């Protein structure tokens, strides 16, 4: 039985037509209708369903982008924007699969990122074994490394492209089972060193809330806030604000300057803490910048090295965080765990540095414009103590007028 919606097969047909047709035919043979979309910038005579000229016509201002006298890079950027508008306007997408090298991957994934969460998105790419964050962002794109170049069918590409095609057709045919829970979504931020706190909050609130836990790795914070901006999440307990440390000190897990921006824009009540602001994240030990080599470092595993934040960095983090809190118009409660912001910074542990913590706490107290609805609350507990998680839950109930 054929599904009513269609799988869109996207790529530059001037260079990858044979591969695209191979994928299209496999998906068609499974009972899913397809649409072959060309996004190439070079003329050809291959038969496609949606021509590059048609895609280009969806660009908001440059309808002639394929015929104007411009460089290839500019044309690729423009047709990527056009593809984004084209796919975003469709209501019959069962899934999207793209094939590409570095340029094609950037072109196609930009459009994929604009599609709603849940629409199957598979990108077969020659660069999928490297840093894929720029392509995936905070979306649910599935990246498949092509192993060989996407340049005709061989014994390797035959296997890789078959698996990718079957993945899209399977998702299109099966669909997503209905999610029956009607509890409101609650966003929580967690790191390994704040897990006990977040687990305790979940235990207290799981009967009344659909608890969505985001790993505070940069993309985690951005993912949560994208869902806040979309209206999907209306409740937050932001336990783990460690991404600020990476932003300030140049770590690899920054969520960027817009962290907490969604909360400000949507005017949501905010309950937060200072989870894991004692650490900055880098990759393996040899990737730590030279200026930080003499700092207190902790090798979490072979791929993750943590650096203890300094007094000066804690002052800067406090100033940055205060600036965000001062922009929030709804009620705010920031709870300060005086005995340690992570399991590594409590007394006796490797990141114990009370002067650095004190610099953060005192900066916040000096910079946050407190009033009845925007308050800092200092508590004589470490972040993972049950008394602290209970205080977070109590503050959450208070400012959201919740009785459980």
CA 153 → CA 8, 156, 365, distances in Å? Answer: 20, 8, 63
Tokens encoding 165: 């095609």
* Residue 198: closest CA among 401, 399, 393, 402: 393
Classify burial at 338, counting beta carbons within 10 Å of its beta carbon; exposed 0-12, middle 13-18, buried 19 or more: middle
Tens-level pLDDT at each residue, the chain (404 residues): 445 899 999 999 999 999 999 999 999 999 999 999 999 988 899 999 999 999 999 999 887 777 766 666 688 889 999 999 999 999 999 999 999 999 999 999 999 999 998 999 999 999 999 889 899 998 999 999 999 999 999 999 999 999 999 999 999 999 888 877 789 999 999 999 999 999 999 999 999 999 999 999 999 999 999 999 989 999 999 999 999 999 999 999 999 999 999 999 999 999 999 999 999 999 999 999 999 999 999 998 888 999 999 999 999 999 999 999 999 999 999 999 999 999 999 999 999 999 999 999 999 999 999 999 999 999 999 999 999 999 999 999 999 998 86
Classify burial at 224, counting beta carbons within 10 Å of its beta carbon; exposed 0-12, middle 13-18, buried 19 or more: buried
Give me the percent of the chain exceeding a pLDDT of 70.
97
CATH domain 6-174 topology? Rossmann fold (3.40.50)
Provide the β-strand partners of residue 301: 304
Domain definitions of the chain by residue range = 6-174, 185-399
The pLDDT of residue 177 is 87
Mark out the alpha helices in 253-385 (DSSP H runs): 261-266, 311-325, 354-367
Q: Which CATH code is given to the segment(s) 185-399?
A: 3.40.50.12030
The pLDDT of residue 1 is 44
DSSP 307: E
Helix (H) or strand (E) holding 270: strand 270-272
């Amino acid at each position: 039985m054929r599904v009513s919606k269609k799988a869109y097969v996207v790529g530059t047909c001037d260079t990858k037509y044979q591969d695209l047709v191979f994928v299209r035919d496999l998906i068609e043979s499974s009972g899913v209708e397809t649409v072959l979309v060309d996004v190439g910038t070079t003329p050809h005579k291959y038969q496609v369903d949606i021509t590059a000229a048609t895609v280009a016509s969806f660009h908001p201002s440059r309808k002639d982008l394929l015929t104007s006298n411009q460089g290839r890079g500019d044309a690729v950027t423009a047709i990527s924007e056009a593809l984004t508008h084209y796919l975003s306007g469709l209501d019959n997408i069962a899934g999207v699969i793209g094939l590409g090298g570095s340029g094609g991957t950037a072109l196609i994934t930009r459009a994929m990122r604009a599609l709603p969460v849940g629409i199957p998105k598979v990108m077969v790419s020659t660069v999928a074994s490297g840093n894929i964050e720029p392509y995936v962002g905070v979306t649910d794109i599935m990246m498949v490394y092509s192993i060989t170049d996407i340049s005709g069918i061989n014994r390797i590409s035959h296997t890789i492209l078959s698996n990718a095609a079957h993945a899209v057709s399977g998702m299109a045919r099966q669909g997503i089972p209905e999610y029956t829970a009607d509890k409101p979504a609650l966003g929580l931020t967690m790191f390994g060193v704040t897990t006990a706190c977040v687990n305790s909050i979940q235990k207290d609130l799981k009967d009344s809330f659909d608890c969505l836990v985001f790993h505070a790795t940069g993309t985690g914070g951005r993912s949560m806030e994208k869902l806040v901006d979309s209206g999907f999440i209306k409740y937050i307990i932001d336990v783990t604000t460690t991404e600020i440390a990476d932003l300030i000190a140049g770590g690899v897990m920054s969520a960027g300057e817009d962290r907490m921006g969604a909360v400000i824009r949507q005017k949501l009540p905010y309950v937060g803490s200072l989870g894991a602001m004692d650490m900055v994240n880098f990759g393996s030990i040899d990737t730590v910048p030279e200026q930080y080599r003499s700092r207190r470092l902790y090798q979490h595993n072979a791929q993750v090295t943590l650096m203890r934040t300094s007094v000066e960095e804690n002052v800067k983090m406090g100033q940055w965080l205060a600036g965000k809190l001062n922009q929030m118009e709804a009620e705010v409660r920031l709870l300060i765990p005086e005995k340690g912001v992570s399991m590594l910074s409590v007394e006796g542990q490797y990141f114990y540095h009370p002067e650095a913590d004190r610099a953060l706490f005192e900066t916040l107290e000096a910079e946050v414009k407190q009033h009845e609805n925007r308050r800092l609350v200092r508590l004589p507990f470490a972040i993972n103590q049950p008394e602290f998680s209970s205080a977070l839950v109590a503050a959450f109930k208070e400012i959201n007028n919740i009785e459980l």
